[in-house]
């Protein structure tokens, strides 16, 4: 008995060591990685050694909080980093007066350009990229995001690159805002020859087309792995909206997919409706019902009813269970109500996946006015 327990303990410690060394990807106690840690911010926009905090504050002088933040003017694009090396972005933090300026998180766009590509591989409104559908700040934590109640935005997915990366933030609104940020990364990482770069696209259909499934991921060709999505729904009709199934069409699938879910709330790991329950890999971080009421058609009964709109922000992270494909992939979700009728509602998504570069351009971006349309009642 003692020998069995000892063997189990040895096996457990061996597994724990393997996870610590390889599973996390951070090699916390390995002193031989050759990695070097760097960070960009307004205090050190190049990330160069010994160049942080060189600006002078008016009151305290050089090196004493001289340039912690910047005013981003309407129409301005600011470069957050321009790194020329191999490396991995490990963490992004941002904040500003986002909470006080409604719709600003939908009006600003983050873009990332990997390894010399002229077109971005990440192009997404900042709020949706940071886990907040509709641009509504809500404090929560998942495996990918942690958001403070005053719009402290944190992003944790690893973002590897081979030669260089440039990340920008564009202000598409008509008002200036204050931006604080920090990007933490390592350089001189040794990546495998065929590795994926993080890709993110944003889509919104307001409204969706009846009987035409909303695309979370428009068709991509070549190898890739799907790691998750932040999905927003604004209901346009009374009744339950979430009977639609998620479908993964991969590697030659035509009419029918290889992977098929059972319902919208089921896809994000919930059941029997949607509840504001944010978990590590799945859940909903916003379930909000508007104060104003109006008349709308119930498509299930074909009758006019009084309703208040639902605003949902939900997510699913495929980090323990990534979806891999070899040749092509397309991901959709249906708009079906209970009990089983077709609907059209307002759907949006920020979708995240890895694929090698060179990669095809992302779908055409959603125009600024379409990104923020019809969201004002979410900010009473």
From first to last of its 380 residues, the chain has per-residue pLDDT tens of 444 444 434 333 343 333 333 344 556 888 888 999 999 999 999 999 999 999 988 899 998 988 999 999 999 999 999 999 999 999 999 999 988 788 999 999 999 999 999 999 999 999 999 999 999 999 999 999 999 999 999 999 999 999 999 999 999 999 999 999 999 999 999 999 889 999 999 999 999 999 999 999 999 999 999 999 999 999 999 999 999 999 999 999 999 999 999 999 999 999 999 999 999 999 999 999 999 999 999 999 999 999 999 999 999 999 999 999 999 999 999 999 999 999 999 999 999 999 999 999 999 999 999 999 999 999 98
Rounded CA-CA distance 217/355 in Å is: 13
Model confidence, pTM: 0.92
322 and 174, same structural domain?
no
**81 within a domain of the structure (yes/no):** yes
* Residues whose CB is less than 8 angstroms from the CB of residue 147 and which lie 6 or more positions away in sequence, other chains included: 130, 131, 132, 137, 138, 139, 140, 141, 153, 154, 285
Strand 122-125 to strand 197-205: parallel, antiparallel, or no bridges (unpaired)?
Answer: parallel
Which is nearest to 298 in space by CA: 378, 241, 228, 243?
241
In 3-state terms, what secondary structure has residue 367?
A: coil
Rounded CA-CA distance 18/200 in Å is: 30
Rounded CA-CA distance 261/182 in Å is: 38
**142 within a domain of the structure (yes/no):** yes
Which is nearest to 242 in space by CA: 346, 134, 335?
335
Q: Among 177, 195, 213, which residue terminates a domain?
A: 195
**57 within a domain of the structure (yes/no):** no
Rounded CA-CA distance 98/101 in Å is: 5
218 and 140, same structural domain?
no
Q: 215: which 2 tokens?
A: 């695309």
For residue 26, what pLDDT is reported?
Answer: 54
288 and 182, same structural domain?
no
**101 within a domain of the structure (yes/no):** yes
231 and 179, same structural domain?
no
186 and 221, same structural domain?
no
Structural domain boundaries enclosing 82 = 34-50+67-195
Q: Among 154, 177, 195, which residue terminates a domain?
A: 195
For residue 76, what pLDDT is reported?
Answer: 98
H or E segment to which residue 124 belongs: strand 122-125
349 and 207, same structural domain?
yes
243 and 216, same structural domain?
yes
**365 within a domain of the structure (yes/no):** no
**156 within a domain of the structure (yes/no):** yes
137 and 110, same structural domain?
yes
The dihedral built from the CA positions of residue 159, 165, 170 and 176, taken in this order, carries a sign that is: positive
278 and 169, same structural domain?
no
In 3-state terms, what secondary structure has residue 194?
A: coil
Rounded CA-CA distance 322/87 in Å is: 22
Query: Cis ω on the peptide bond leading into residue 339 (within 30° of 0)?
Result: yes
For residue 100, what pLDDT is reported?
Answer: 79
Rounded CA-CA distance 265/337 in Å is: 12
292 and 152, same structural domain?
no
212 and 189, same structural domain?
no
As to burial, measured by CB atoms within 10 angstroms (0-12 exposed, 13-18 middle, 19+ buried), residue 181 is buried
For residue 8, what pLDDT is reported?
Answer: 39
Distances (CA, A) of 91 to 14, 157, 183: 29, 7, 6
For residue 271, what pLDDT is reported?
Answer: 97
**4 within a domain of the structure (yes/no):** no
H or E segment to which residue 54 belongs: none
**367 within a domain of the structure (yes/no):** no
42 and 180, same structural domain?
yes
Our count of domains for the chain comes to 2
Which CATH number goes with the domain that contains 284? Answer: 2.60.120.1390
Distances (CA, A) of 121 to 93, 108, 130, 240, 358: 20, 16, 16, 35, 10
């Amino acid at each position: 008995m003692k020998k069995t327990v000892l063997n189990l303990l040895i096996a457990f410690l061996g597994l724990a060591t393997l996870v610590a060394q390889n599973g996390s990807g951070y090699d916390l106690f390995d002193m031989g990685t050759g990695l070097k840690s760097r960070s960009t911010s307004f205090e050190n926009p190049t990330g160069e050694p010994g160049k942080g905090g060189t600006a002078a504050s008016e009151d305290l002088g050089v090196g004493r909080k001289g340039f912690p933040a910047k005013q981003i003017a309407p129409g301005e694009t600011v470069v957050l980093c321009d790194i020329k090396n191999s490396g991995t972005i490990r963490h992004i933090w941002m904040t500003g007066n986002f909470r006080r300026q409604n719709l600003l998180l939908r009006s600003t766009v983050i873009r990332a350009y990997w390894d010399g590509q002229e077109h971005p591989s990440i192009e997404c409104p900042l709020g949706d990229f940071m886990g907040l559908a509709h641009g509504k700040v809500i404090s929560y934590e998942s495996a990918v995001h942690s958001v403070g109640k005053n719009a402290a935005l944190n992003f944790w997915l690893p973002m590897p690159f081979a030669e260089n990366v440039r990340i920008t933030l564009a202000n598409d609104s008509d008002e200036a805002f204050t931006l604080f940020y920090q990007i933490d990364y390592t350089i001189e990482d040794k990546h495998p020859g065929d590795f994926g770069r993080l890709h993110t696209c944003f889509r919104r259909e307001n409204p969706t087309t009846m009987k035409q499934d909303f695309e979370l991921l428009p068709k991509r060709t070549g190898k890739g792995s799907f790691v998750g999505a932040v999905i927003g729904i604004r209901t346009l009709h009374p009744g339950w909206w979430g009977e639609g199934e998620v479908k993964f069409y991969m590697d030659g699938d035509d009419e029918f997919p290889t992977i098929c879910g059972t319902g919208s709330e089921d896809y994000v790991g919930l059941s029997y409706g949607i509840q504001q329950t944010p978990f590590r890999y799945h859940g909903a971080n916003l379930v909000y019902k508007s104060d104003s009421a109006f008349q709308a058609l119930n498509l299930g009964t074909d009758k006019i009813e009084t309703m208040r709109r639902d605003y949902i922000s939900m997510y699913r992270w495929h980090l323990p269970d990534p979806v891999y494909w070899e040749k092509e992939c397309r991901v959709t979700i249906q708009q079906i109500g209970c009990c089983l009728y077709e609907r059209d509602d307002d759907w949006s998504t920020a979708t995240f996946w890895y694929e090698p570069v060179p990669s095809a351009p992302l779908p055409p971006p959603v125009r600024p006015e379409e990104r923020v349309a019809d969201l004002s009642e979410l900010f009473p």
